[in-house]
C-alpha cells in the first residue's frame, strides 16, 4: 500500500485534541506517515498545558512531498499566524499538497497564508465571526461540521477533526476501512459534513428539572409521535400552561419550536442516508404532508428537502 505523508502543523497554544484525534484516525487506518511540524522542533505546549514533542521545525523540513497538510487550531493560532516563517512554510507546503485541511481555528493560519481566499470554510462556531471579520475574502459558514471546497477541507472544533479525518480516510481507502476505524475508536461513521454545529442538543439549554426533562426525552425518543402541548404536559405531569412557561424558561425556546427542530433533524438524517420518498419521511416524523415538511425546512434551514437531499447525500461527506 502506498504511504500518504501527512504533515500536522502545531504551535504553542494549540488544541491537543485537534491533533491527537485526527492523528489516531490516520494511524489506525494505516497507510499514512504522519509528521508533526512546529516553528521549532522539540517540546510544544498545548493550550491545556499538555507538552508534546514536535519532530520537525519548519526550517528543517522541506515543504515538498506532503500529500495532506493539516493545520490544527487552538488559542495560540492568533499569535502563530503572525509568524512569517510558519505561514511561509504552510503556503509552500500547500502548493504541492494534494489536500489541505484545517481543524477548528487552524483556518486562521490557512487564511493568513492566503490559502482560503474565495473559498467556503468552517471553523468553531465561537470563532467564525472573527474569522469572517479578519479575512473578508473568505466565505465563512459556521454551521457545518466540516466543508470541502476543492482540495481544501475545513472543520469545526475538536471532535469534528475526527469526522474530517474519517472522511479523508474514506476518500483514500473506501468506506470499509473508515468503518473499521470508526468502530475501533467508538465513533460515528460518519457524521456528515453538513451536520449542524447548532443541532438541538448543542444550541438549546438543557432542562433544569425532571418534568421538562421527561418531556424532552419523549420528543427525542419518537420525533414523529404526537407532541402537542397537552401530550407533552402529560409526560411532564404539569398543566399545559405551566409546561409552556417552564419549558420556554428552561430551554430558551417554546415547546412547538423545539419539536419542529427535532423533527427537522430527524428528517435530515433520513434524507442523507436513504432514498425514501419525501412524503413518507414527512409522515414518519410528524409533519403529516410533504408541504408541511417543505415549509419547516425552509424556516429552519433555508432549503427545500429535495435540494437538501441532492446536496448532502454523498459517500465522501463533500459539501457541495
What's residue 238's pLDDT?
Answer: 96
Grid coordinates given for 225: 409521535
3-state secondary structure of 173: helix
Considering the four listed CATH numbers 1.10.10.60, 3.30.43.10, 3.30.565.10, 3.40.50.280, the one that applies to the domain covering 199-320 is 1.10.10.60
Spatial separation of the C-alpha atoms in residues 154 and 164, rounded to whole Å: 8
20-33: b (≥16 Cβ within 10 Å) or e: bbbbbbbebbeebe
Grid coordinates given for 287: 409533519
Grid coordinates given for 112: 493568513
What's residue 315's pLDDT?
Answer: 43
Spatial separation of the C-alpha atoms in residues 72 and 50, rounded to whole Å: 15
Spatial separation of the C-alpha atoms in residues 72 and 207, rounded to whole Å: 34
- pTM of this prediction exceeds 0.75: no
What's residue 90's pLDDT?
Answer: 98
Q: Are 66 and 93 in contact (CB under 8 A)?
A: yes
As its CATH architecture, domain 4-184 has 3-Layer(aba) Sandwich (3.40)
- What are the E-state strand segments in 176-295? none
Domain ranges for the chain, please list them. Answer: 4-184, 199-320
Classify strands 99-103 and 68-71 as parallel, antiparallel or unpaired: parallel
Please give the chain's pLDDT, 320 residues, in tens: 568 999 999 999 999 999 999 999 999 999 999 999 999 999 999 999 999 999 999 999 999 999 999 999 999 999 999 999 999 999 999 999 999 999 999 999 999 999 999 999 999 988 999 999 999 999 998 878 899 999 999 999 888 999 899 999 999 999 889 888 988 887 755 455 555 665 666 556 778 899 999 999 999 899 999 999 999 999 999 999 999 999 999 988 899 999 999 999 899 889 877 789 999 999 999 999 999 999 999 888 777 899 888 766 644 433 33
Q: Are 198 and 143 in contact (CB under 8 A)?
A: yes
Determine phi and psi for 11, rounding to 5 degrees. -165, 165
| Nearest CA among 19, 103, 9, 23 for reference residue 61 | 9
Amino acid at each position: 500500500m502506498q504511504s500518504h505523508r501527512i504533515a500536522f502543523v502545531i504551535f504553542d497554544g494549540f488544541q491537543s485534541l485537534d491533533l491527537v484525534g485526527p492523528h489516531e484516525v490516520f494511524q489506525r487506518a494505516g497507510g499514512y506517515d504522519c509528521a508533526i511540524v512546529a516553528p521549532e522542533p522539540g517540546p510544544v505546549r498545548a493550550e491545556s498545558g499538555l507538552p508534546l514533542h514536535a519532530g520537525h521545525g519548519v526550517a528543517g523540513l522541506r515543504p515538498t512531498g506532503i500529500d495532506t497538510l493539516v493545520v490544527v487550531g487552538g488559542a495560540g493560532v492568533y499569535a502563530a499566524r503572525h509568524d512569517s516563517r510558519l505561514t511561509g512554510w504552510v503556503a509552500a507546503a500547500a502548493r504541492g499538497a494534494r489536500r489541505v485541511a484545517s481543524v477548528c481555528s487552524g483556518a486562521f493560519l490557512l487564511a493568513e497564508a492566503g490559502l482560503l481566499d474565495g473559498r467556503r470554510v468552517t471553523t468553531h462556531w465561537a470563532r467564525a465571526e472573527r474569522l469572517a471579520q479578519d479575512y473578508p475574502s473568505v466565505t465563512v459558514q459556521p454551521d457545518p461540521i466540516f466543508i470541502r471546497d476543492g482540495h481544501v477541507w475545513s472543520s469545526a472544533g475538536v471532535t469534528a477533526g475526527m469526522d474530517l479525518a474519517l472522511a479523508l480516510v474514506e476518500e483514500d481507502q473506501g468506506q470499509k476501512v473508515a468503518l473499521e476505524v470508526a468502530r475501533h475508536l467508538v465513533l460515528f461513521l460518519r457524521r456528515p459534513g453538513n451536520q449542524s454545529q447548532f443541532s438541538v442538543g448543542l444550541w438549546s439549554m438543557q432542562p433544569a428539572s425532571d418534568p421538562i426533562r421527561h418531556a424532552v426525552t419523549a420528543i427525542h425518543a419518537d420525533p414523529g409521535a404526537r407532541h402537542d402541548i397537552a401530550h407533552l404536559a402529560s409526560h411532564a405531569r404539569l398543566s399545559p400552561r405551566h409546561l409552556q412557561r417552564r419549558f420556554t424558561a428552561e430551554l430558551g425556546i417554546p415547546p412547538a419550536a423545539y419539536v419542529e427542530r427535532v423533527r427537522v433533524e430527524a428528517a435530515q438524517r433520513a434524507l442523507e442516508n436513504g432514498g425514501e420518498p419525501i412524503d413518507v419521511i414527512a409522515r414518519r416524523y410528524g409533519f403529516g404532508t410533504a408541504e408541511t415538511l417543505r415549509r419547516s425546512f425552509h424556516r429552519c434551514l433555508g432549503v427545500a428537502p429535495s435540494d437538501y437531499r441532492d446536496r448532502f447525500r454523498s459517500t465522501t461527506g463533500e459539501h457541495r
